[in-house]
Structure 1
Amino acid sequence: MKNLFTKRFASHNLQFTGHYRRNLIVFLLITSLPGILIGVILFFVSKSQMEKELHTVHQNHLYKTMDSIQEQFSYIEFLLANWATDVNFSTDYENIDLKNDYKRVRQIYKTLLYLENSNPFIGHVELFINQEEPIVFSKSGYRLINDTKTLDSYQQFLTNDNNLFWSPTLLEVEQGYKDRYAPLGLVHNLANTRFTSYGSILVYMDKDKLAELLKSPYEAGSVFLISNQNHWVFADPEQVRPSELEKAIYDEIEGRPGKKEPLLFYFDKMEYTVTYDSFSRLGEQWYYVSIAPLTTITAPVVFISKVFIILCSILLLAAIFLSFFASKKLYNPVETLLKKINNEGKTTKNEFDFIENQWNDLSSESENLRGRLERQLPDLREGFLLQLFQGYLHAFTEKELLERMQHFGLKKGQKYLILFIQLFGLSKLQGKFLAGDEGLVTFLAGNVTKELMHQMNITGQIINFHDLSLGLFITIPQEETQEEIEAKTHQLSETMITSINGICHMDVVIGISRITNTIQEIHSIFEETKNALSLRKWKDYNQIIVIEKMDHLFQQEDTVEFPFAIEKETIQAIRLRNEDEAIKRLRAFFQTLSEKNVSTAMVKQSALQLLGNIHQIALQAGLMDENIMNKGVQLYKKLWELNDPLEMSQWFEAKVVRSIVQELSQKQDQRMRIVVEEVVHYLQENYMKDISLDYCADQVNLHPTILSRVFKEVSGWNFIDFLTNIRLMKARELLIKTDTRINQIAEHIGYKPSYFNRLFKKSEGITPSEFRKVNQKKKSFIS
C-alpha cells in the first residue's frame, strides 16, 4: 500500500504545513454557533412544519393503502369472476343430485377449497344453490337450508342487477359469521343456460387481514372506509358503529364535493389532520379516510426543541475549550497519512491541493473502469440473450424485457429472427482436434460468423453454446419486407456454410426461425428452430432448414424398415460375448440406416431401440445393479445428444458394446458358454422338432437342472422361453414374408394351431392374422 501511494503521488513534490488544522479550529467554532440558531428556529417552526410533514405522511400512507386495497379487491374480483365463468361452474347446478353426482360435488369442494386458500384476505367461501331444496356448500361439506329467514337472506343476492358486487350485508345470512368475518364481502351470481341466476358464490373477507390493511400508522389514529350507500368498514375489527368524531369528519368531507386535499379538523378541544380519497369498485363509490391527532404528535417535538436549545448553549461553551484539542486529534490521522504518502518530507501551503490531485486521479480511474464496462457489454448482452433463449426469463413481462434489452444496447421496435447453427463431423478431424475441443471449434465458428455478419451489415448477437452449436439473434428494422429478410438470411446461411466448411472443415446445418415482434416468443421459437434440425436428412451434411417452409419436409418424411435381422445378430453376438462380431454387426446396423437417407430423428429412434434391447440383455444376465442403471440413464441422454453418424457408431462401440461384453465375459465361464452355444445352435436348427430340456442335457452331458441354470446365466433366458422365442420369431418372419396359412405355420414351428394362437397373442398382444394385416399395410405404405 505504501509503495502504491508513493508511486502515484511522488511527482506532486508536496510540502505539508498546519494550514488544514488552523482552518479546522475555526470551522469547529463556527459550526457550534448555528446550533442555537437552529434550535430557536426549530422551536417556532416545528409545529407548522410537523403539520405539513404529517399531511405528507398521511397522503403517502393513503395512496399506498388505497393501492393495496385496490390491488387486493381487484385480485379477489378477478379470481372469483374467473372461477365463476370456469367450465366447472358453466354446468347447470340448479338441480344437482347430491347422492349420484359424486364427481360434481367433489369438484365443488375442491374449487371452494382452492378459492379459500388462494388469497390471505379470503376468510371463507360458500356456494349457494337455489334449487327445490336450497343448499349451501363450503369446503367442509354442505347443509340444507330449511329456515325461511336464512333462505331469504341468501336469495336477496340473486335479485341484484349485477352478477358481481360487494355486499356489506353478507354476515346477515348466518348469525355465527358476525364475529368471524369482516362485514364486507364479495358475491358472484351464477346463471344457468337460460341466463337465470340459480345460485351465488359468497366470499367472506378475513376480519383480521382487512383490519391490518386499514390499520392507521399512528396508535391514536383512526381509519375507516365508507361507501356512497352509507356502509362503514373500520380498521378496528371490534368496531361496528362510527364514533362521533368519524361522523363529524365524514359530514365535513361530504360538504367538500370535488375536493380531496388534506384538512385540519378541530373536535373536542383537539386538532386532527384528515387525509382522504375515493375510489370506485364495481359501480360503487368508496371513501378511504385516515385521521390522526396533531397535538399529541407535535408536543414531543416542541419539548425536544427546547432541550436542543439548552444543549446547544452548553455545547457552544464546550466547543470553545475543546476545539483546540479536538483539532489536534482530528488532524493526527491526516498528518500520519500525508507522512506515509510523501517520503521526501516536503511541505505545501495547502493540503487541499493534494486532495484535489488525488480526486483527479480517482476520476481518471473511474473513466478507465467505465471503458472496461463498455468493453464487457457484449458479454453481458450475450449472457442476457442466453437466459432469454433458455427460458429463464419467462416470468418477465414484455415491457420489462424491452427495458432490459435497451440497457444492453439493443433497440426496441424491431423484428427478431433466430438462426441455430449446428456443426457436425468433429470425429473426422482427429488429427486437428481432440475430444473435448468442442468449445474451441465452436469459438472458431463464432468468429467466422461474426466477421460475415459485419461484412453483410447484419445487426445481431452471437450466442456461443460451446457444444458445436451457435445461436444467432438478429434484429431487423420494421420497414424491411419478408422477401428482403429471406434473401439476406439465405445469403448469410450459404456463406456461413461455405466458410465453416473451408476453415473449420466441419459440416453445418442451419435452422432459420420464423420472424416475431414479441420478445416473450424468443424462447419458444428458439426451441422450435432447434428441434427442427432433427428433420435433417442423414446423408445431406450441409442443410438449411426454414421453419416457415417445413411442410415439404413433413411430406418427404418417409419410414424406414428397422433392420431386425442385424439387430438380432448383434444382440446374439453380445449375448455370446463375441465382441468383434458384435461390433461388426453394429457397424452394419448403422450402415443400413445411413443408406436410407432418412431424418436424424428416425435414426436416433432406431438407435434408442437398439440400446434398449442391449440393456435388456444386461438386465436378463443380472448385470443391472444400481450403478449400471444410473449409467444407463446417462447413456440414453448422451445418445440423444449425438448428431453425427460416425460419432454415434463409435460411441456405441466404446460405451455400450465393449462395456457390456466385458461385463458378460467376466460373469460366465468359457466352458459353459460353449455348452450353451451348442444348445442354442441346436435349438435354432431344430426348433420345429419336439425338443425338451432333458434331451438337450443328454446331448451336452449335463444334468438338466445344471443346464437350465447355466442356460439362464449365459443367455439370460429360460430354456423354454428361449425355444418359444425362436419359434415365435420364425412365425413372425413367415407371417410377414409368406402367405402360408396360419395352421401350417403353427405346425411348421412345432405347435398346435389353437395353442399357437394363444401363445402368439400373449406375446404380441394381437392374433397372428391381425399381425399379418398390420405388417402388410406397412409394406404397402413403404412401397
Structure 2
Amino acid sequence: MKRTYFRIRNPFASFRKSMLRRMLAVSLFASIFPVIFVGFSSYWFASSAIREEVDQANARVLKHASYSIDTALQRVRSNALQMLLGSFFNGNLTEQKWTNYAGFYSNLFQNLSSLQNSNAEISRIVMYIAEDDYLVSPDQGGHKVAGEEDRRQLQGLLASREAMYWSHDTFRFMGNAPGGQATVTLVCQVPFQASEPIGLLLLQLNPSFLQENMTRFSAYPGELSFILNEEGREVVSSAGQPAPQGLYEQVGEHPGRAFSFTWEGRDYLVTALHSSFNGWTYLDMVPLQELNAKSRGIAVITVAIVLVFLLLGAAATAWSTKRLYRPIEHLVSLVRGNRDEELLADEIGYVQSRWAELNQATTRLQTQLNRQLPAIREAFALQWLQGHYAHYTSEQLPVLFERYAVPYGHTHAVFVLAYDQSPDGSSRFRESDKELIVFTMKNIAQDVLAQQGASGMVVNLLNDQIAVWLWEDTEDPAAWFAQVQELAAGLRAVLADYLKLPVTAGLGDGPGQPGGMPRLFAQAAMAIRSRFWAGTGQVIRSGDGDIGEAKSYPYPFEIEAGLEQALRNGDAAEAELQLEQFAAYAQETLRETERIRTAYYQLLTAALRVVFLLNLSLKEGDGTGDETDLYVQIKNVHSIQELNDWFRERLIRPIARKVQQRHHQEYERTFETAIAYIEANHHIDLSLDQVAERCGLSPPYFSKLFKRIIGVSFIEYLTAYRIDRAKTLLQTTGLSVAEVAESVGYQPKNFIRVFKKQTGQTPGQFRETGSA
C-alpha cells in the first residue's frame, strides 16, 4: 500500500507579499528621516541655545553692572545733595565768609573731607569759590585758578541752567586720570538751585571703580566691555582701548536685542543695555569664535548619537515591521476563509474587494434597521434642526423624511423652551436636578401636544432645553402659526406653574418648509439666548427687539474709565451711576448675550485692576472673595439686573468703602502734620502755600480739604490759634502788646485790630480785665 502524506497548504503560496516590502521601505524612511532631522535640529537648537544663553547671561551681567554703577552714582549724588542742603551750604555763604573767613574755610574743608571719606567711589573733590577765584580740595588744599582757560571753563559751568549734572568733560585743574582714561564728574552749583550761584562743587569719580564693575564678570577670552554716554562717547573701557567706530550706531539699529559686529577682523556677539538713570549704554562683546568652540563639540556628539540611533532604528524597524505584518497575514487569512480561489491582487487589494462586499451587506442591514426603529426620530430631529443634513440634495431629503415618518410636504414650525433657576429659591427642584427637570418638561410637552391634537415631536436639545417641532398640512400658514404661538405661550405657562421656575419660549420669525427648519431653529435658539437681556418668563419671538446677528460695536471705554476713576476716589454713588450707564449701553447697543457677558467680564477686569493698583485686599469677610471666585460668580448670573446688583454688592461698595477708609487715615495724618506745623510756626509770616507745600498738596486742594476736615478755613484757624496764644501771653507774662504781637506773627497795629475783632476788646483792655 502506498503511503500518503498530508501536506498543509500555505494560504499565501500564490501571494505576492508586496505589502511587506512597502512596509519595510516606509518604516525605514519613517525611522531614519526623523533621526536625521532630530539630530540636525538638536545641533541647531543647542547652538542657538548657547548663543541665547550667552546673550541672556551677558544681559544679566550688564544689568548687574548697571545696577551697581547707577546705585553708586545715585548714592554719590544723594550724599552731595544732602551736604548742599545742610545748614552750612544752605545759609548765606558770602556773609559767612566775610564774617568769619577762617571759620568759613575750616567748615568748608570739614564738609568736603567728610563727603570724600564717606564715598569711596570719589577720587577727588574740588570746591570753586568764584568771588575769590579760588579752588579748594580736601586732599590738595586751596589755590588760585591757574589758567584763563580753566577760569572760562568754570565760569561756563556757573552760567549753566542745570544746578546738578554729570559731566564727561576733562577738567585740567582736577588732574588727569591714570592711563589717560576718561573721567566722570558730578558738577553742582552752590548754593544749590540758587538764582545766582557763588561757586561750584565738582566730584570726580575714580575711573577704576567703573572699570572694575565692567570687568568683574568677564568669562570668555577676548571679551570686551564698554560704557558709552548718551552722545556715544566712551566713558570707560574694560581693556583700556577706545570703543570701535560705528558700534554706538549699530546699538541704535538693534534696540533691545543682541547682534553681530565685526571689529579688527574678529566677529563679536554684542549685548547692549541702556540705563535710564544716566543715559549710559553698557556694552559687552564676546568673540563668536569662543562660542562656536562649544558648538563644534556639540556637533561631534550629535553626529555620533545620530549614527548610533540610525543603526538601532534600522534593526528595530526590520524586527517591528515583521511583527506588524503578522496581523495583516492573519486578517487576509480570516477574510479569505474557506474560499479556494486564486489571489491575483496584493494583500490590501484583496482585503478591499472583500470589504466592499461586506460594506454592501452592512448597508442593506442598516437600512432595514432604521425603518424598524422609529424611536431614533428624536436623534434625527436634533441633527436636522442643527443643520447636520445640509449636504443632502433636494432629491434625498424626501426619502430621508419618509424614513423617519416626518411629512416633508407640510408646513413646519419650531419653538424652544428653556428654564432658569428661581432667584428666590421657591422651586420644587434643586439646581442639581437638571436632567430631571428636562425630562419633566419633555413629558409635559408631549402630553400637551396630545391633548391639543397637534402633530409634531418634542426633542431634548442636550443643553437643558427642549425643542417642539410641529407640522401641519394647511393652506393658511399665518393663521396656523398664530395657533403655534398660542400653544407656545400656554405650554410655557403650564411648565412654569408646575416647575415653579422661570420658563422662556423662543420662536423663529414664522412657519416654513422643511429645508428652512435649521434657520428657524437657529432663530428660536437666538431668541432664547436673548432672555439674558430681554428678560425671562415670557415668549420671545425672533425679530422682537431686533434679535439677530450681532454687529461689531465699540466698547464703552469712556464709561469704564469713569467707573475706574470713581472707584479710585472711593465715590460709590458715581461708580453706580457709571454702572447704570454701562448697562444701558449694553442693552441698547450690544443686544446679544455673549457680547454683553464679554463686556461685563472686561468691566470686572477693570475693577480688579483698580484693586491691584490701589493694593487693596478683597477678602471673604467683605463678601467679595478672591479674583477667581469673582469670575466664577459672574458666570452664574442670568440677567443684566442681576449683574448690576452683583457688581454693586461684590465690587463697587466694598472697594469704595476701603478707599474711603484709606483716604480718611491719610487725611488724619496729613492734618496732624499741618496742625503741628502751624503751632510750631505761628509766630512767623505763615501762609497757606507754605503749609500746603509742607503737606505735599497743592494750595487749592489743601484749602478745600482743610475746610472739609477741620470745619473752618485755614486763615480762620490760624487767626484763632494766634489769638488764643496771645491771650495766654497777655495773662501769664509781662510782655508788652507789641512784643506779644510779634510773638504770634502780627504787626502791632494789625494785632490790635484783629484781637479786638476776635474778642471785642483791645489787648490792653483784655489784660486789665483779666478776661478769659
Give the structure-2-normalised TM-score: 0.34
TM-score (norm 1): 0.34
Q: Which one has the largest radius of gyration?
A: 2
Q: Considering Cα pairs closer than 8 Å and 6+ residues apart, tell me whether 1 or 2 has the greater RCO.
A: 1
